[in-house]
Structures are given as C-alpha cells and as structure tokens.
Structure 1
Amino acid sequence: MNLAEAIIRKNVEKHSVKSAIGFKKKEVWKELSWKKFSEMIFKTANALKNAGIQENDKVAIYSDNSAEWMIFDLASLSIGAITVPIYSTNNAEQAEYIINDSGAKAVLVGDQAQYDACLEFLLKEDNHLQTIIVSKKAVWIKKENNSFYLEDFIAKTSPKTEICKKEHEDVATLIYTSGTTGTPKGVMLTHGNFIKAFDAHFEFFKFKNFEEELSLAFLPLSHVFERSWSLLCLYGGARVYFLEDPKNIAKALGEVKPTMMCAVPRFFQKIYAGVNDMAAGGSPLKKKIFNWALEVGKQTAEFRKNENLLPLGLKLKESIADMLVFSKIKERMGGRLWFLPCGGASLSPEVTRFFESVGIHVTVGYGLTETTATLTLFPLTRFEHGTSGKPLPGVEIRIGENDEIQAKGNGIMKGYYNRPEDTKAVFTEDGWFKTGDAGKIDDKGNLIITDRIKDLMKTSNGKYIAPQQIENLLTNNNYIQQIVLIAEGRQFVSALIVPNFEFLDDYIKKNNIPFTNWEELVKKEEIIHLYKDKISELEHDLSDFEKVKKFTLMPSEFDINTGEITPTLKVKRNVVLKKYADIIEKMY
C-alpha cells in the first residue's frame, strides 16, 4: 500500500472534520481538518503531475518545518514520486550535492537563501532540476525561471486525485545521511518500511485513545526521527503541530501544550540540569521539599514500571509531591506532556529516572536512518534504565564481531541509492544489517549501547575509552553545553569544552568577574578553576584512565553552519578534531 493512502484515506473517512495538523501564521496557531488537509495534499499532487512529475521521479524538500513541508511530502508520495528531504541548515553546496545525486526534478524551498541556491542549480546546464516551488510569499522569485509560489502552483488544481498504487518494497524516500563520517549517502526507505514500522509501534505500546494525542514537531522533518514520528502520529489519527524555528520551543510548549513529542538527549539534559540547579540554589526548606518529592516520585515510578498498584499512603504522598514540585516542572513543558521518544544518542539513566519520577515517560530508543529510525525502545512498563529497550515486533537484534549490533526486520533499508558496493559493505553474508555501533544484550533482552565502533579510542597505554558515555556524564549539568573527548593514541584523555554561556553569564555577574568577551573569559584562571572543580566532581566514579586530565574551554559553540555538528546536535568528531588540531596538540 502507498504510505500516503495509509495515512490519508482512513482518517478522512473516520473523522473528516477533526483537526489533523497545526501551524503558526502571523503569531497565531491555526489548524487544518483532515478533509482540508487531504484537499491541500491532493491539489499539490495534481499540480506536481501538471508540472511533469511522474511516478518514481525525485522531489526534494529544502525547508524548515512547516505544514507545507508535510503537505508536499504526502503529495509527492501520493503520485508515486520519491521524496528527498534536505536539511534547511545545509549550505548551497551540500544541497546541490543531494539534488544532483538524487536527480530531483522539483524542489520545495522555504526561504530566500534556499530559493537563491536552487535557482542557481536550475540555471546550470546538464541539471535535472526543472521546477522550484516556494512555500512563502515573502520570498522574492523569478517567475520566468520555472519558479512558483505554492499558493499559485496549486490554485487551479482539483482537490481530488487517484493515489498511485505502491507495493511494500517500492521506494518512498531517499534520506541522505548527515555525514558524521564521509560523504552523505541516499538511504532508500520503502512504503513498507514505514507502514510495517508504524504497525509495530502500535502493537508494542498498545496506546489508548491515540487519536486524542497532540504532537509538536520541533526536530527537523528532514531527519528520519521526526519525520517517522510525525507520520506515525498522523497514521494513528493524532494531531501534529509544526514548529518552524526550534529555538522557540520553550514558548511553543506553553502555547501548544502537546501530549507527546520526540526529542534528542540534549533537550532532556538541559531541563534536568536546570531543575537541579534551581533546587540547589533554593532555601534549605525548598531543597528539603524537592528532595522529598523526588524520592516519592522514584518510589511511585518504580511501582508503575513494574505494573504494581500504589499503596494508598504513597498515592497520597504522590499527590502532594505533584502539587508542590512536579506540576511546576511539567507546566514549564506545557503541562500535558507524558510520552517523549528520545533518540539520536544515549541518555544517562539518572536523567530518565528523573523524568519518570516527575511523571513523564521518556521512551529511550535506538535506531538509524537505515533502519527507519526505531530498532529498540523502552516499553511503557517493565523497562530498564540505562538500556535502549527491547526490539520492536518484527525486529531481530544480535551482537556480531567486535561487539557490533546487527539487525534484521521490517525497517531495514532497501540500500544506498546508486551505491551497490556501499550497500554490500553494511550487510553480512547472511543478510544482517551492520549498524557500526557496539553493544550488548542483557539477560532480560534489553539492548545496551556501548559506543560507536568508529568512536572507540585506544590510549597509548592500551586502555579503551568509550567517549559517548563520558561526554554524556559531563553534559548532564548546566556548566557544559558541548564536549569532545580526545584520547586516540594519546597518553591521557583531554577535552574541548564549550561552556553553557547563559549559565556562565549568571555566574560571572554573581561573582563580579570583569570581562570584555567570551574569548577573554574562558582563559581566566578563576573560570578554568571553576571547570576543573566541576569536572573533578562529575568524574568521581570514573576509572583514573577515563578521567579528563586537561581541557580547553572554547569561546563559542560548535555550529551546524560550520559543519561541526549535525542538525540533530551530534558533534562531527572528525571535523572538530581536524579543525582544532592545533589547540589539541597544545594540551599534549
């Protein structure tokens, strides 16, 4: 079945007037009903057909999150075209590579820079790109160069169309890997990959009244995690609101009040660190109340995790803890969030325990673009903190050579587009996908991620360092925003550390430390000593060879635009190590 048909038909038939999606227009959140949403999809589908887009043609989306993004995606799928998402943060050169490699014939863009870049591609000879569609009228376009505003592009088309029939093995999308190592490759995911993965999620969780849920999409739709989650929500009849600028997440949470939302570890770490710092800075009485509430929360969470009924006394304590402490934390997140899938990197068990104590279920998962996101994840009950949960129905996991996690199942990609050798290299002879991550399976069947095999470091003394676990430990506080460990071939571990400048600003004001800019501040002895003390405190339980012996405080954050981090905030280790090689050498 066509993925678009699986999402649209049943929901329009079941509840055509119910809201499907939400978006912000002129500072006001608006909604589209399933009937109106489907009409917009079909009008766009017919316009694409009129523009010469045929079955199996590639159609790119180079834009921030928006209602138009999802409409364009489902419209392309409806006519049997293959959607090619491009991160809105990609520069012109990166976008051109993806458009050329995929052979995209049309592209939806969201802002002026994206339009200007695509217009330049379109005007080049021997180029596949034929049409540029622009989602916003605020962008200036050259209409004589096959450029159209989406509103005009679909103005005279019919709101009805025949959805192109598709088999499970037919390709639905090419998602280019973010390229933490090497050249980005187009991952071919099929209609069946998505539909079977969605069905497996619903079988796994057995949600009640899923149609009443509301998800806020703030991670990039170009990434497999947010796109799969948002499509899953629509597949199940829930509402999805689209946030264009992720920097506005705090404000949007209060306005939209979602019940569900997927997020990356840094989102949870920042909230965890912020709440703990606020509690630490409170009066002795407030600290006592906070610690008491947290202990009550841990007890109740444990009962619920193991599906045991709460004793009456504990239930009463929980109500008081919620009123005094937890309700305030939840209110900062909109007040209604209860289910948050987390992926992209590992998350420390103390963070997941904290949120579970508050009454918010963070369902930690593990997967890749090549596996349609999820391979394993926390169930609603009987999960184990510190693991990545259990395999979805239809997914098999095994541990291969070098402790590599290998997988089979519904979500495994068809292969890399036009790269048969690369495809062959990531599959074993007996057909298992090689993830490139190291891990183990505990006696209860939970997957535990050790680290990226390529990231494992060996010191000159022969000791192995798994950087992710240590980096996670050190970023679970408000002092450190980003960190990159260095140890490969070195006699000890060092680190490049990006301070949390917002938090540091408060610290220097309280301590009257004069400075003119961040570059000057991070070199001051009192700041360096502050970080030495904090790191020493955080590393207390690590083995001596794992501890950071030297570090350099960086004057600015690692940035998406400079290629130092991916759009999902993962550090591109090889880029950072190369760029700051001189600074690293000085530490040795």
Structure 2
Amino acid sequence: MNLAEAIIKKNVEKHPLKSAIGFKKKDGGWKELSWQKFSEVIFKTANALKDLGIELNDKVAIYADNSAEWMIFDLAVLSIGAITVPIYSTNNTEQAEFILNDSGAKSVLVGSQAQYDSCLEILKKESTGLKTIIISKKAVWIKKEFSSFYLEDFIAKSSPKFEFSEKNEDDTATIIYTSGTTGNPKGVILPHGNFVKLCDAHFEFFKFKNFEDEISLAFLPLTHVFERSWTLLCLYGGARVYFLEDPKDIAKALVEVKPSMMCVVPRFLQKVYAGVLEKADEGSSLKKKIFNWALEIGNQTAEFKRKDQTIPLGLKCKEKVADLLVFSKIKEKLGGRLWFIPCGGASLSPEVTHFFESIDIHVTVGYGLTETTATLTAFPPTNFEHGSCGKPLPGVEIRIGEHDEIQAKGNGIMKGYYKRPEETEKVFTQDGWFKTGDAGKFDDKGNLFITDRIKDLMKTSNGKYIAPQMIENLLTNNNFIQQIVLIAEGKQFVSALIVPNFEFLNDYLKKKNIPFTNWEDIVQKKEIIDFYKEKINELQKHLSDFEKVKKFTLMPAEFEISSGEITPTLKIKRNIVLKKYSDIIEKMY
C-alpha cells in the first residue's frame, strides 16, 4: 500500500493526458502538467534519489515554500520507500537543524536562498547526517563543491521508467514535526495506510460526484498535515491541484485559477466575512436593504439544503435574484467557482459558516491533529450542525474521556513520536485510545463540539472557568482585530492583548482625518482605544459578564514567528506572549 503508487498509478492509467497539477511560470502565467508528464518527473526524481544512495526508510527532508517541486519531491521520496520529513519554510537555521539532526535526514530539498544558506551551514558541521542539498529553483546561488544540486540538473539524466517500492500499511510514510507551542517539536510518525484509508474514508463520507473535474488551490503550507493531506486526497481522486508559492498572492490567484475547492484556516474565512459586512455597512441605505434581503433569502435557502429538503419554487426564484444582485459579486472575488471549503486548525464561529452557506459555498468544518493525520470529524454534506465540528469519518472512533477529553481510535492515528517512547506513552490510554488534549462533548445527534484545549482553560480568582479560544475567535471575526491573547488565569477579570488589523485601522484613520505618526502613538490615542472599546463591547454583548473582556491593551505590532510568539501555523504561543508582555499585563490589573 505505497501511498505514491495509490495516487499515481490509477490516474496515469485512467487519464494520462488530463492535467494533474498547475504552477506559476516565470512570466506570471500558469502552466499545467498532465498525469503522464507529472508521473515522469516524479519517477526521474525517484531514480535520481536512488542513484544518490537514498535507500528504503532513509529520511529525506523538504525545507521549502509551496511549489510543484515540493509535491513532486514528496511523491518521489514515498515512491522509493523513503520517508519524507517536512520542515516549515519559516523555520530558522536552529529550528531546521534540530529537525534534520533529530530525524537523521540524509538529503534535503530547499526552495530559497535563505533556506539553502541555512542548510549549507548545517551540512558543513561534522555532527550532522546531512549529505546533500537539492535546490528547486535556479535563482538560488549555490556552492556545488558542497554536494549542492539544482533539481533540474539532478534529474536530467535519470530514467522516467520506475517500479514502486512495496510498502505495508504500517510502514512509515512521513515524520511531521509539530510546530509546538512549548519546547522542541516532536516528530509525528504517520504510515502509508493512514493516508490511503483516510482518502477512502473522505470519499465514502462526502460522496463526491465527478471529483476528477474539481480544481484545488494549495496555498496553506504543505508542511502542515492539513494542506498536505487535502492535496494528496485531491490528487488521489484525480482532481487538479494548483500550487501557490506566496500566500500573499491569494486574492490574485483565486481569480486566475478559479478553484472549485480549497482548504483554509478560519482566519481566511473571517477576513472575507468581515470584509463583506464592512463594505455592506458603508453602502447606501438602499444597498444595505438589498444586501440584508439577499442574506435572509440565502439563509432560508441554505436551511432547506442543510436539511436535505426540496426548496420551494418561489424561494428558488428569489435566490436567483439574490445571487445576481449580491452573492455572485462576492463569489467572483473568490474565483467564481468555489463551492466546497474544508476548514480546520482552530474554531470557527457559526455566524461565519451561516454566511458562507447563505451564499452557496459549503464550509466543511473539521477537527483533527497532526497526530491523527488531520481529519477525525467533519461536517457531513447535509444535516450538519453549525458551531460543531461535525461527525466522525468512517473508520474513526471517538469517545469523551476524563476531564471531557476527546479521545480517538482507528484510521489516521499516529504510530507514535519519533525516538520519544515516553512522550508517546503519555498521549495514549492503557486501552489504546489517543488523547487529543482537547475538551469536547457530543450532542444527541452525534455532532462533536470542542469546548477548548484542556491545558488552555483558565480559572479566574473568582473561581470561574474561561475558554479563551471561543472568546478570541468571536473577537477576531471583526476585521479591525488581527490577533488577540486573552488573560484570565488567577486574575479577578478577563483582559486581553489585542493586535489591530493595521490595514483596516489605517483606512479608519484616513476617514476620520487622524494624522498618522507611528503605530506606537496611534494605539495609545484615546479616540482609537474608545473605538476598539465600542467594537469589543458590541461583539461580546451576549457573553456572560465574567467572560467579557473588561480591559485591553492595543499592541503596536503583530506577534511574529521570528520572535517565537507564534508557531509556523500561526497559533499563538500563549506562555511566551504572557511572559514577554508581563509588565503590560500587570498594568491592566
């Protein structure tokens, strides 16, 4: 059950000339490779790796941004029975060195000059097992005397003829190092069978029709289990995948590629949602009426679809008008064809999912971890529950354990943490259930609801428990709030560090004729603090009094990966932020 073979073989046999992948050319246009060409490049890369001396179960790393080369290299490594070790492109030299040394990777694919320079520095050390650096782009300047090869040259003389290495379902396919909010990352061991079984489970669960006609845009990091699993699933089902190298170009790429599917994190949807509401609010009274009417029609229609019921003819006609006047304009900004969006990585407010359902884009909220090969649960196509994380996929079992902890068994569960038996033992119960570290509950219809990360639950000095993710998620639904960290543990009330969305705040300054000096001054201005106070009070008005943010401090800059304040998956390292800004926090009390 070689994962690469399961993806490549059937698609090459079924439709060799159909486009498999797309990527940006130097001139800015998009180029596609057919399944035949795609497989040939993978096989040439696989043969070149074998000629290099990469053998069964050797570790090969990828330290690069998203690209077609990323996926080609990954599938080539898997094809020869070696093990892929992804490294976040945003990791620094020290972080990359830890993963390369801990995994024992013999070779690495890099994409940028900075990544190459980091790996060259590591390769020169006697303590490392790294022997070869392969570079995906010729724009990078290299030193060939240090076993450095451009990918194009590396595979030039290789044969496109290839036989897959046989693999059992329990054989390791990849070791993914969790970004970790504390300490060094741990290598999660995921076997070939996890991916194949979960691909089959997704198709059984969603009952996709004509999946081969779908187009996905990969813009989240392929290093993360979510985008990688989703992209592998798309390729497994014969869909076409375009790779976006710079996520900052997402708005342009959506219009150019016109994807029908793509996986996202909640912040992407929150920004679209808040942006649409902001624009509608700025319109004339007539435009506001039309927008609100269309949204109401959309909500009514979405409810019939959610319940898998026939939509009345009159409502269908109204929906067509609503789409013509309002929804089509929103959807055009997203490419015009998008209809299915898997979303994971953090919680998402039901207001946001309701909105996207109303404009006829189905957001499938899911729940999973790196340790579970991504998806454990997801919204089914119909009869899902807004605010939940959906229902378990086929082959996945979930129970609620001690302290309301979500525990899982079945398809997708990791083999363990690489070279860390003690850490592995900690996250499994004696009867073999994986402990997620998340608290949750099931409703009477079998929908899973996440209440919070167990270790993140906060207890105020008044004995009240606060679930920070829910409140943080609620507040970041507003376009003026980019990041937020709640503080409550041991305190008499809830406070927060808030990073404004500087782009929207800058527009607000211009509208109000407030002169810009620098962000340090701006976030301390009384009129700006009052503006945010009004926004926050409006957003949290339905919360219980003990849950409400009573005081906050506006931060003059975003929390950054480079400073260690957030992980490469943009999760805030709460303990680091709390320690770093302890003086600011104490002033609020």
**TM range, normalised to the smaller chain?**
over 0.9
1:479, distance to aligned residue in structure 2 (A): 1.4
- Are 1:305 and 2:345 matched, yes or no? no
Cα displacement string for residues 91-149 of structure 1 (whole angstroms, at most 9, x for unaligned residues): 11100000000000000000011001101111111311010000010101110110000
Q: RMSD of the TM alignment (CA)?
A: 0.7
Cα displacement string for residues 486-541 of structure 1 (whole angstroms, at most 9, x for unaligned residues): 00111111100001111111111111112311111000000001111111111101
Structure 1 counterpart of 2:159, one-letter code: S
What is the rounded CA distance, in whole Å, between the counterparts of 2:20 and 2:147 in structure 1?
31
Q: Which moves more between the two structures, 190-199 or 511-520? A: 511-520
Maintained 8 Å contact 1:84/1:173: yes
Maintained 8 Å contact 2:64/2:70: yes
Which residues of 2 match residues 59-138 of structure 1 at below 5 A?
Answer: 59-138=60-139
- 2:316 matched residue in structure 1: 315
1:157, distance to aligned residue in structure 2 (A): 0.4
What is the rounded CA distance, in whole Å, between the counterparts of 2:476 and 2:371 in structure 1?
28
- 2:446 matched residue in structure 1: 445
Maintained 8 Å contact 2:179/2:569: no
What is the rounded CA distance, in whole Å, between the counterparts of 1:72 and 1:232 in structure 2?
17
What is the rounded CA distance, in whole Å, between the counterparts of 2:379 and 2:562 in structure 1?
33
What is the rounded CA distance, in whole Å, between the counterparts of 2:207 and 2:563 in structure 1?
43
Which residues of 2 match residues 541-552 of structure 1 at below 5 A?
Answer: 541-552=542-553
1:582, distance to aligned residue in structure 2 (A): 1.5
- Are 1:420 and 2:421 matched, yes or no? yes
Which residues of 2 match residues 456-475 of structure 1 at below 5 A?
Answer: 456-475=457-476
What is the rounded CA distance, in whole Å, between the counterparts of 1:472 and 1:308 in structure 2?
31
Maintained 8 Å contact 1:403/1:439: yes
**For structure 1, which runs of at least 5 residues remain unmatched after alignment?**
none
1:199, distance to aligned residue in structure 2 (A): 0.3
- 1:394 matched residue in structure 2: 395
- 1:10 matched residue in structure 2: 10
What is the rounded CA distance, in whole Å, between the counterparts of 1:357 and 1:560 in structure 2?
35
What is the rounded CA distance, in whole Å, between the counterparts of 2:300 and 2:549 in structure 1?
35
1:295, distance to aligned residue in structure 2 (A): 0.4
Structure 2 counterpart of 1:21, one-letter code: I
Maintained 8 Å contact 1:416/1:422: yes
1:578, distance to aligned residue in structure 2 (A): 1.7
- 2:430 matched residue in structure 1: 429
- 1:229 matched residue in structure 2: 230
1:332, distance to aligned residue in structure 2 (A): 0.6
- 1:504 matched residue in structure 2: 505
Maintained 8 Å contact 1:366/1:373: yes
2:201 counterpart SS class:
helix
- 1:171 matched residue in structure 2: 172
Q: Which moves more between the two structures, 564-573 or 163-172? A: 564-573
Structure 2 counterpart of 1:433, one-letter code: F
Structure 1 counterpart of 2:464, one-letter code: K
What is the rounded CA distance, in whole Å, between the counterparts of 1:31 and 1:585 in structure 2?
56
1:281, distance to aligned residue in structure 2 (A): 0.8
**For structure 2, which runs of at least 5 residues remain unmatched after alignment?**
none
- 1:147 matched residue in structure 2: 148
Structure 1 counterpart of 2:161, one-letter code: K
Maintained 8 Å contact 1:46/1:158: yes
Which residues of 2 match residues 33-72 of structure 1 at below 5 A?
Answer: 33-72=34-73
Q: Which moves more between the two structures, 426-435 or 552-561? A: 552-561
1:569, distance to aligned residue in structure 2 (A): 2.0
Q: What is the count of residue pairs matched by the alignment?
A: 588
1:9, distance to aligned residue in structure 2 (A): 0.3
1:448, distance to aligned residue in structure 2 (A): 0.1
What is the rounded CA distance, in whole Å, between the counterparts of 1:360 and 1:182 in structure 2?
39
1:560, distance to aligned residue in structure 2 (A): 1.9
1:364 counterpart SS class:
strand
- 2:334 matched residue in structure 1: 333
1:583, distance to aligned residue in structure 2 (A): 1.2
- 2:562 matched residue in structure 1: 561
Maintained 8 Å contact 1:265/1:345: yes
Cα displacement string for residues 283-315 of structure 1 (whole angstroms, at most 9, x for unaligned residues): 000000000000000000000111111111000
Structure 2 counterpart of 1:564, one-letter code: E
- 2:407 matched residue in structure 1: 406
Which residues of 2 match residues 17-28 of structure 1 at below 5 A?
Answer: 17-26=17-26, 27-28=28-29
- 2:272 matched residue in structure 1: 271
1:566, distance to aligned residue in structure 2 (A): 2.2
What is the rounded CA distance, in whole Å, between the counterparts of 2:113 and 2:516 in structure 1?
38
- 2:571 matched residue in structure 1: 570
2:437 counterpart SS class:
strand
Structure 2 counterpart of 1:378, one-letter code: F
Maintained 8 Å contact 1:326/1:358: yes
1:567, distance to aligned residue in structure 2 (A): 2.5
What is the rounded CA distance, in whole Å, between the counterparts of 1:407 and 1:548 in structure 2?
34
Cα displacement string for residues 22-69 of structure 1 (whole angstroms, at most 9, x for unaligned residues): 000111100000000000000000110111100000000000000000
Structure 2 counterpart of 1:488, one-letter code: E
1:166 counterpart SS class:
coil
What is the rounded CA distance, in whole Å, between the counterparts of 1:181 and 1:407 in structure 2?
23
Cα displacement string for residues 320-374 of structure 1 (whole angstroms, at most 9, x for unaligned residues): 0000000001001000000000000000000000000000000000000000000
What is the rounded CA distance, in whole Å, between the counterparts of 1:326 and 1:95 in structure 2?
44
Maintained 8 Å contact 1:264/1:568: no
What is the rounded CA distance, in whole Å, between the counterparts of 1:357 and 1:317 in structure 2?
13
Cα displacement string for residues 202-240 of structure 1 (whole angstroms, at most 9, x for unaligned residues): 000010000000000000000000000000000000000
What is the rounded CA distance, in whole Å, between the counterparts of 2:268 and 2:570 in structure 1?
10
What is the rounded CA distance, in whole Å, between the counterparts of 2:114 and 2:482 in structure 1?
29
1:570, distance to aligned residue in structure 2 (A): 1.7
2:195 counterpart SS class:
helix
What is the rounded CA distance, in whole Å, between the counterparts of 2:564 and 2:323 in structure 1?
42
Q: Which moves more between the two structures, 124-133 or 367-376? A: 124-133
1:568, distance to aligned residue in structure 2 (A): 2.5
What is the rounded CA distance, in whole Å, between the counterparts of 1:8 and 1:391 in structure 2?
28
2:167 counterpart SS class:
coil
1:549, distance to aligned residue in structure 2 (A): 1.0
1:181, distance to aligned residue in structure 2 (A): 2.4
What is the rounded CA distance, in whole Å, between the counterparts of 1:13 and 1:533 in structure 2?
61
Maintained 8 Å contact 1:407/1:432: yes
- 2:255 matched residue in structure 1: 254
What is the rounded CA distance, in whole Å, between the counterparts of 2:558 and 2:269 in structure 1?
19
1:75, distance to aligned residue in structure 2 (A): 0.2
What is the rounded CA distance, in whole Å, between the counterparts of 2:55 and 2:573 in structure 1?
37
Maintained 8 Å contact 2:56/2:81: yes
2:513 counterpart SS class:
coil
1:182, distance to aligned residue in structure 2 (A): 2.6
1:180, distance to aligned residue in structure 2 (A): 1.4
What is the rounded CA distance, in whole Å, between the counterparts of 1:363 and 1:283 in structure 2?
33
- 1:195 matched residue in structure 2: 196
Q: TM-score under structure 2 normalisation?
A: 0.99
1:579, distance to aligned residue in structure 2 (A): 1.6
Structure 1 counterpart of 2:94, one-letter code: E
What is the rounded CA distance, in whole Å, between the counterparts of 1:148 and 1:197 in structure 2?
35
What is the rounded CA distance, in whole Å, between the counterparts of 2:262 and 2:179 in structure 1?
22
